[in-house]
Amino acid sequence: MSATLPSKNAVRPIEAVNDFVIKFANINGSGSASANELFAKAILRMGVPVSPRNIFPSNIQGMPTWYEARVTEAGHLGRRGGTDMMVAMNPQTWDADLAEIEPGGYLFYDSTRPRPASAFRSDITVIGMPLTEICNAVYSDPRQRQLFKNIMYVGALSVLLDMDPKVIETLLGEQYRGKEKLIAPNVQALHLGRDFASEHLQHPLPIKVRRADSVGEHIFVDGNTASGLGAVYGGATVCAWYPITPSTSVAEAFVKYCEKYRVDEQGHHNYAIVQAEDELASIGMVVGAGWNGARAFTATSGPGISLMTEFIGLAYFAEIPVTIVNVQRGGPSTGMPTRTQQADIISCAYASHGDTKHVLLLPEDPRECFEHTAAALDLADRLQTPVFVMTDLDIGMNQRLCKPFAWDERRDYDRGKVMTAEDLEHKDFGRYKDVDGDGIPWRTLPGTHPTRGSYFTRGTTRDPYARYSERGDDYIYNVQRLLHKFATAATLVPQPIPRPAARRTRLGVIFYGSTSPAMHEALDVLARHGIHIDALRLRAFPFPGSVKEFIDAHELVFVVEQNRDAQMRTLLINELEINPAKLEKVLHYDGTPITARFITRTITNRVHEAFVAPQEAKS
Amino acid sequence: MTYIAKPRLHHPSLTRNKVGYTRRDYEGKVSTLCAGCGHDSISAAIIQACWEMDIEPHRVAKLSGIGCSSKTPDYFLGASHGFNTVHGRMPSVLTGANLANRDLLYLGVSGDGDSASIGLGQFAHAMRRNVNMVYIVENNGVYGLTKGQFSATADKGSKSKRGVMNSDSPVDLVGLAMQLGASFVARSFSGDKEQMVPLVKAAIGHGGAAFIDIISPCVTFNNHAGSTRSYDWVRDHNQAVSRIDIITGRKEITATIAPGQVVDVEQHDGTVLRLRKLHADYDPTDRVAAMSQMHARAAEGELLTGLLFVEGQSGDLHASLNTSAVPLNTLGRAQLCPGAAALEKINASLR
């Protein structure tokens, strides 16, 4: 069964070395995820960057799932858009999968059940392999048939794409360390696939992988693992959470690393993790622990944030450190829990009733998930307020190649302004009094001093000394001080990172979070096409002064984000009083991660409309 | 008004407890509740119990939800930190506070609206988790701050002040707590100080979640004929199952009591609760029997009070989580941060 190459009038097959997109169409629960990950890691081990993304259903077994791996020696880790090779293992999605292949691309499928020629396209290369037939002949156990079929297609692909089998064998050895008896059958399945492909399929294909040295010291990790680890390094001791996709693995990573690094000599835990009954309780526990001086965090997603908002408002007004990792997904409620969006920007920035504003950190990749989660714990203590780490499903649940985690051994935790028993002997204590001019008051922890420093914690009905008051003057003093504190926050949060264009330009672009890699690639492509744009990657809200300066310095600023309503643009307009006409929306919100092609196309069209096209073409 | 400080005229001859405090040191601000409110009697019982137990006021954290009852922590233990949290969600805040510092005494004060309506879920889960706390519900069957609506604990068939009949079945927090595995369940009446103070003391020494449902009549909205939470009704239907003597190592009470009439329960803090049984057939250490008795009595229209169930050595949430003996809020970088070398190893495992 050899490869059917396109007929004479068809498109030329795509030729590419270390630069293509391969997509696996599978059925979830079939064990394909680990085989696909093995495939991606093997390419990484060959020194070629790869950027995989799971596009999966909210289901345990039987529904379609895809794994898209972008092989990119140039290191473009965002989604490109389009598929060069489809590994079609799911009959349910056959038609759509087939249609998605780029002209000149490749289709690999299980040919056990013959398909009529009309089932294929004439402009692609079709490669059939009777995977089920081979598996059924070799294995009798149904589960083995399923699992080894996955490894077998990895073997066949390794021949077609000219990958090094030794690398895959090494990875299997690492994967099954401690369960050594599983290594041999996996290696056997791998070679069954390789042998068939070597013998029956035309190889290697015009798209292939070649050893390179472009991975270096980079690590391959998902953002949720990184956030959980960041919470361990940042000194969180209390984690209260409620399971919700796509944030669950943040708490699970925290558990895993705590079990390894946070057990004292007596075997006791230097941490407490509670799976709460709901998000109303998980945030309540975090608020209680923060009030009592422990570093505490929760991880959730949009629907959880909605349930937490009353407490978030109380924490804002009562000035209690709280850290919330929000792994954003498509809303509402059951919504699109396995799809990605940046659609909680407004709901988090202004969470709760009354005049509230909150600190948001905007990590671009797992490395920043680690750093921002650790930083959030410091900022929450310093500012005595809720701090959100706004990641999303794309960063949170996909493994991403990024710079290794780093920790400065000299770094200590910033526990903020907490008065000790000694301080209370000598200093005046006004819980809600601005004594340092930064809007941040001093606080005390319960149990500190026998006669001084206790106070009754309330939302707003109190004076600077925490005495009950419903006076308007006291209220205004307090909420104005909170605004002043928010201005202080702008100087403490991670500052935005500019990427100036190669040439002087009137155009700017603002972006943040998981949009980052696709944006950087788009900027490269746009520059090659003569469109030069200065870029600014936001890393936090409140916006530091440099954000306003950036917007003022440009005639038109694109704001690229992954939600329908241009939420960051709204926040910029609202907070910095920007003329809305100046901020041009570039929005991607279908639930899949934004692609470089989408950004390039959208910005190119807008630039042509605005600066090139004749006036009448605009109508 | 609560921002007016009470005059602090300490009479030199006021008795001091073992830690050097007078009863006055356990008081708070002037109550703003209605004159005659049962809640003020409960505050007085808390003050009395803490003073008698020689608890340093600043080592107590008092937390509440929202409602008349939840205002009361401002009226006792003025030298303790307090937290007026969110409606129905005191239990979660208290759980978090307790996780942060296991060395303080946690006093959760709530009401029937706060714990049986909006907060029923949090009440239930705090009981399940056995958070080390004293959880007092000041139960009057009515929403006071919003002027007289029925609460979820109001009895079916009872009448509001305006003559409306309640047609919904009541939530029985005591029954729920027992069913959910709570390790200390009591009911009392704000008009019975003799019963309340020892119960609060026993709850303080318990070492796990200690729940006390205190029927506390609302003099303004629920103290009329037709109410089952009025002073008169409760006095007429109250059936105490036992009286408690608290025996510490230092002070043994040697009352002569007929054999078979006493149950001794050793508590976490080493004290022994000696229950002098007033109902010969009531066994507060047998959960199933106690529940059955309680339901049977309730069907007869009786309101059983006293220590209804107790498990002496119950452990608590910290025990189940195996947390460090040192409060988590005192741990620093040395105990918490795995350091750069460990991070290098983690990096290596991710390549």
The better pLDDT of the pair A58, A616 is held by A58
pLDDT at A166 exceeding the cut of 70: yes
- pLDDT tens digit sequence for A533-580: 999 999 999 999 999 999 999 999 999 999 999 999 999 999 999 999
User: How far, in Å, CA of A490 to CA of A485, rounded?
Assistant: 9
Lowest mean pLDDT among A405-419, B206-220, B237-251: B237-251
For residue A617, the model assigns a pLDDT of: 46
For residue A613, the model assigns a pLDDT of: 61
CA A352 to chain centre: 25
pLDDT at B235 exceeding the cut of 50: yes
Q: What distances in angstroms separate CA A478 from CA A112, A287, A319, A459, one per listed residue? A: 73, 20, 11, 11
- pLDDT tens digit sequence for B69-94: 999 999 999 999 999 999 999 999 99
pLDDT at A619 exceeding the cut of 60: no
For residue A4, the model assigns a pLDDT of: 55
| Greatest Cα-to-Cα distance within chain B, rounded to the nearest angstrom | 76
C-alpha atoms less than 13 angstroms from C-alpha of B221 in its C-beta half-sphere: 17
Reduced to 3 states (helix: H, G, I; strand: E, B; else coil), residue A263 is strand
Spatial CA neighbour of A252 closest among A261, A263, A241:
A241
Shortest CA gap A40–chain B (Å): 12
Point out which residues pair with B303 in neighbouring strands: B238
For residue A10, the model assigns a pLDDT of: 63
Q: Sign of torsion, CA A360 A366 A368 A373?
A: positive
B20 close to A (CB below 8 A): no
H/E segment holding residue A183: helix A183-200
Residue type, B202: A
Contacts of A279 in chain B (CB under 8 A): none
B102 close to A (CB below 8 A): no
User: How far, in Å, CA of A170 to CA of B151, rounded?
Assistant: 66
Look at B91 and A451 and tell me if their CB atoms are within 8 Å. Answer: no
Instruction: Pick from A454, A460, A462 the residue to mutate for testing the B interface (most B CBs within 10 Å).
Output: A454
Q: What distances in angstroms separate CA A172 from CA A49, A70, A158, A180, A508, one per listed residue? A: 20, 22, 14, 10, 47
- pLDDT tens digit sequence for A310-332: 999 999 999 999 999 999 999 88
For residue B268, the model assigns a pLDDT of: 83
Q: What distances in angstroms separate CA B31 from CA A137, B1, B228, B294, one per listed residue? A: 83, 8, 25, 34
For residue B297, the model assigns a pLDDT of: 86
Q: Sign of torsion, CA B290 B295 B298 B303?
A: positive
For residue B258, the model assigns a pLDDT of: 57
For residue A1, the model assigns a pLDDT of: 43
CA A186 to chain centre: 31
Domains of chain A: 16-208 (3.40.920.10), 221-402 (3.40.50.970), 421-492 (no CATH), 497-618 (3.40.50.920)
Shortest CA gap B261–chain A (Å): 41
C-alpha atoms less than 13 angstroms from C-alpha of B301 in its C-beta half-sphere: 7
Lowest mean pLDDT among B15-24, B33-42, B249-258: B249-258
Q: ∠ CA(B55), CA(B60), CA(B65), 5° rounding?
A: 140
pLDDT at A2 exceeding the cut of 50: no
- Encoded tokens for A222: 């998902």
Contacts of B73 in chain A (CB under 8 A): 456
Strands (E), A203-307: 207-208, 219-222, 238-241, 272-275, 296-300
Which DSSP state fits B217? Answer: -
H/E segment holding residue A52: strand A50-55
ipTM given for this complex: 0.94
Contacts of B324 in chain A (CB under 8 A): 264, 268-270
User: How far, in Å, CA of A5 to CA of B269, rounded?
Assistant: 82
Contact present, B62 and B73 (Cβ < 8 Å)? yes
User: How far, in Å, CA of B161 to CA of B152, rounded?
Assistant: 16
Which DSSP state fits B76? Answer: B
Q: Crossing angle of helices A472-492/A302-318, nearest 10°?
A: 120
Report CA Rg, chain A: 27
Spatial CA neighbour of B245 closest among B277, B288, B198:
B198
pLDDT at A170 exceeding the cut of 50: yes
| The CATH number of domain B23-334 is 3.40.50.970 | yes
Contact present, B317 and B95 (Cβ < 8 Å)? yes
Highest-confidence segment of A117-121, A262-266, B295-299: A262-266
Contact present, B198 and B172 (Cβ < 8 Å)? no
Domain ranges of chain B: 23-334
Quick one: pLDDT band at residue A58, thresholds 50, 70, 90?
confident
For residue B253, the model assigns a pLDDT of: 45
pLDDT at A7 exceeding the cut of 70: no
**Cα nearest neighbour of A446 on chain B:** B81
Contacts of A314 in chain B (CB under 8 A): 85-86
The residue-averaged pLDDT of A280-304 equals: 98
Mean pLDDT, chain A, integer: 95
Q: ∠ CA(A248), CA(A249), CA(A255), 5° rounding?
A: 105
For residue A364, the model assigns a pLDDT of: 98
For residue A117, the model assigns a pLDDT of: 83
The residue-averaged pLDDT of A396-407 equals: 97
For residue B1, the model assigns a pLDDT of: 42
B108 close to A (CB below 8 A): no
pLDDT at A429 exceeding the cut of 60: yes
- pLDDT tens digit sequence for A472-523: 999 999 999 999 999 999 999 999 999 999 999 999 999 999 999 999 999 9
The better pLDDT of the pair B296, A6 is held by B296
For residue B4, the model assigns a pLDDT of: 57
Query: At A164, phi and psi to the nearest 5?
Result: -80, 115
Shortest CA gap A478–chain B (Å): 17
Shortest CA gap B297–chain A (Å): 32
Residues 125-154 of B with CB under 8 A from A: 125, 129
Strands (E), A362-402: 386-392, 399-402
Q: What share of chain B is helix, strand, coil (3-state, %, to 5)?
A: 35, 20, 45
| A332 prior amide bond cis, ω within 30 | yes
For residue B242, the model assigns a pLDDT of: 86
Percent pLDDT > 70 in chain B is 94
The residue-averaged pLDDT of A99-110 equals: 97
Which of A233, A276, A458 lies nearest to residue B84, judging by beta carbons?
Answer: A458
Which DSSP state fits B24? Answer: G
User: How far, in Å, CA of A181 to CA of A199, rounded?
Assistant: 28
A460: buried, middle or exposed (CB in 10 Å: 19+, 13-18, 0-12)?
Answer: middle
Quick one: pLDDT band at residue B9, thresholds 50, 70, 90?
low
Q: Crossing angle of helices A366-383/A472-492, nearest 10°?
A: 150
The better pLDDT of the pair B148, A376 is held by A376
For residue B255, the model assigns a pLDDT of: 47
Q: What distances in angstroms separate CA B237 from CA A272, B198, B232, one per listed residue? A: 44, 21, 9
Lowest mean pLDDT among A94-103, A465-474, B8-17: B8-17
- Encoded tokens for A15: 């030729």
Shortest CA gap B26–chain A (Å): 11
Question: In A446-515, where does DSSP find H-type helix?
Answer: 472-492
Reduced to 3 states (helix: H, G, I; strand: E, B; else coil), residue A229 is helix
A330 Cβ partners below 8 Å, 6+ apart? A336, A337, A339, A340, A341, A343, A591
Residue identified by tokens 């303004």 is B220
CA A258 to chain centre: 22
H/E segment holding residue B143: strand B142-143
